[in-house]
Structure formats: C-alpha cells, structure tokens
Structure 1
Amino acid sequence: MVKKIKLYKNFNIEKKHKRSILLIGNFDGVHLGHQKLFKLAKNYKKKFDLNIGVVTFEPMPKMFFNPSLKNFRISNLKQKINLLKALDVNFIITKKFDRDFSKTNSLDFIKQILFKKLNAKYIFVSNNFRFGKNREGDVNQLIANEKIYNYKIVEPKPLLIQNKIVSSSSIRKQLENGNLDKANKYLKRNWTIGGYVQKGRQLGKKIGFPTCNIDLG
C-alpha cells in the first residue's frame, strides 16, 4: 500500500500536522547530509509518535534574488518532492518565495509561522540555516526563542566525508568540474537532469539530425 503524503503550498496545515517534527531548508539534491538529518528525524518520530513535515521554498531564495543564475539547481522541484516522499515524511510544505515573503522579519517568521501557523514541536535545521528579511535570523535566534514559543531546535552536526562537509554547494562544485562520480557519491544515487521538451526551430530535422530542446526548469 502506497503511503499518502499531504502536499501544501502554504502554511495553513491541518490540525493533525501541528505539533510535528519539522525539517526546514532548500534540500537541493536531497544528498547524504540531508538523508542523515531525516534519519535522525525518524528516530524522533518513532520515540515520540509524531508526524514529520518538510518546509521548503520555491524558487530557492538565492535564485529569487539572483534570477540570472543558470543551471544552479541539483534537482528540480518535481525531483525534490519525489526524493522527499521516499524519506518517510507525512507532509511537505512548498512555500512560494516571493517579494512579500522575503520581507518577513526573523521574529515574525518564528512567532507567526513556526508558532502560530505550524505550532512545531521539534525543528531540525542545519548549522548555517538563515531566515527572515536580509537573512537576519539564525540558529542562535531560534534557540533563544525555544521556551517562549514552545518548540525545541535540533541541530545535527554536518556530515563529513574525508573531512569535507557534504553540502549542496559542494555537489554543485563537483558537477561544475565534471566530477560526476564524486557528486554521485555525495547524492548516493546517479545524478539526473529533469526538464520539459520545448519545440524549437527544427533545424536539426531539416538536415537529418532531429534534436530535443529541453528546458531544465
């Protein structure tokens, strides 16, 4: 039986998904470091009998503020959602990152979203997690507000392979340098490209070599 996973596009979640374990981040590539985070979250789920939810953003904030970035993502949104679904989560929130949302200050993010909207119980973030207008919020601010807003921050140490942190940025660098084997090692799967076929000028077809034009999204 296939497990049903609830997908949200905003923070208006069902009551059964409040007081859950929340993992917040871009999760680009859903690499080994992310997978370590989810494995720990599953231990909490088993111990405390809680749901696991993911909060991610679309587009990625860096791409929103730098629209000229090309081929930046390791995985597109559809790929990311499918990878997250395979990690035994109960719900996924894909929040649209737009101009209005980017103006939310860090304390309002904690009070209005994490507390009032989501009412999270455990919040998993990476040690370099930043949030709020101008990236003013960090893990220290989240920890400082734990007792006030009734949640607990879990900040696992980053995953190291050969004394190097496994991160989305490190995987992008490997892909840019053509080190596909190392990128695949960090992803724990073969890296693939997803996109949409677009009709072009059909010049290749005219000379006997039809091609596909793919928008990587």
Structure 2
Amino acid sequence: MAALPIAVLGSGPAGSACAIELLRLGHAVVLIDRGAEGKERRGETCGPRVEQMLLGQGTAFTATCHHSFDLYSSAWGTSVMEGRQIAFWQAGVGSVLDRSTLHNDLVASACAAGAVVLSDCHVQVAQWTGRQWVLQGMQGGKTWKLAARFVVEATGRQSSSVCQPDAKRVFLDKLQCLVTEFAAVEDGPSGWLSNQPRLGGGIQLGCLQVAGY
C-alpha cells in the first residue's frame, strides 16, 4: 500500500518551498492552496537572500512577479531623506513583489515538481487518529476529506492552527508598522520613514516605530 502523503497547508513562499523540498526527498505531497487574497498587500519587498533561496528551491521567480530596486530612502529623527544602497546591507539588490503573480508562480512551481495541488481549499478540521491525520474542509462549495501522515502548517502568522486549535500565538516583538501613501513626508519625534517603488508606478512609504516596553 502506498504511503500517505504529507499535507502542506498554505502555498505561499514558505509552504511552496517546503513542498518542493519534501518532493526532492522522495515524499508524496499534497499542497493545499486557499487561493490568493483579493485585496492588495502592502509592503511586499524582499532582499536578495530570499530571492536566491526561492531560485535555489526551483521556485519560479519571473520578471512579471517582481522588479528589482537597489536604493531606498529613509529619515530618522529629521526631515532630510537619505538614500542607501541595498548593497550597504546585503550583497545584491532587493525586489518589489506582486504577490498575486508570485502566488501563481509558486503554485505552478510546486505542481511542476510533482505536488498534488488542491486549489481554493479551506481546511476546517484536522484530527489525529493515532495513525494518521484526517483533514476536512470545503472546496468549491463541496466537502472533502484527506488522510495524511504528517501536516505542515504554513498559513501565516495571522492564521490559527487547525491541528492545535487551542494553541495561542505569543508575539515577542514590540514593533509596530504603519504603511500608507502620501504626496509628502513628515517626520515625527521618533520613527523611521522609508520609500520604495511599486509595481505599476508610484512610491510606497512606510513608517516603522519601536513601541515602548
């Protein structure tokens, strides 16, 4: 009898990379994709190391899902913006991402590597029988079930665990981030302002502040 597959919940960068690596190790993988979010996600940038990791995993990173930027501007405690090269921090250039296109590329890469992809799937219940996991959810308005010998949850920090629904997340960082768009920049008594190009034109501004203890 064939071994049960490993179920990977979430088809983002973490889930897709994990699925591809598991396939390389000889495991059968079912990648459960709940679909790209309809709303635009702000602040989607990454450094060169993330891009290198995705390419090293065999993940598609096409020109349609990102464009490169090598300079960002920031101000700390002053209204004067200062330009910095990405290479000042890392050896290479950064990328501004189109998450919808990147999501499609990630799923296509996992599928090409041999994963069984369940699209537009929402997992509602995960139960351990003592021998296997049994997942149950909705797909296209219909109920489905899947037996798996192991479950990888890569659904993001905002999602609750279906395998351990009583588990609580503990966030130890004290960072608060506000991202919006303005025609001008005004600095405050403390904080870090940055801007970066966006796909389709325009500039994205970010304000990062360390909250007090």
The TM-score, its normalising length taken from structure 2, stands at 0.34
Q: Tell me which protein shows more strand as a share of its residues.
A: 2
Which protein shows a greater Rg?
2
More helix by share: 1
Q: Could you tell me the TM-score, scaled by structure 1's length? A: 0.34
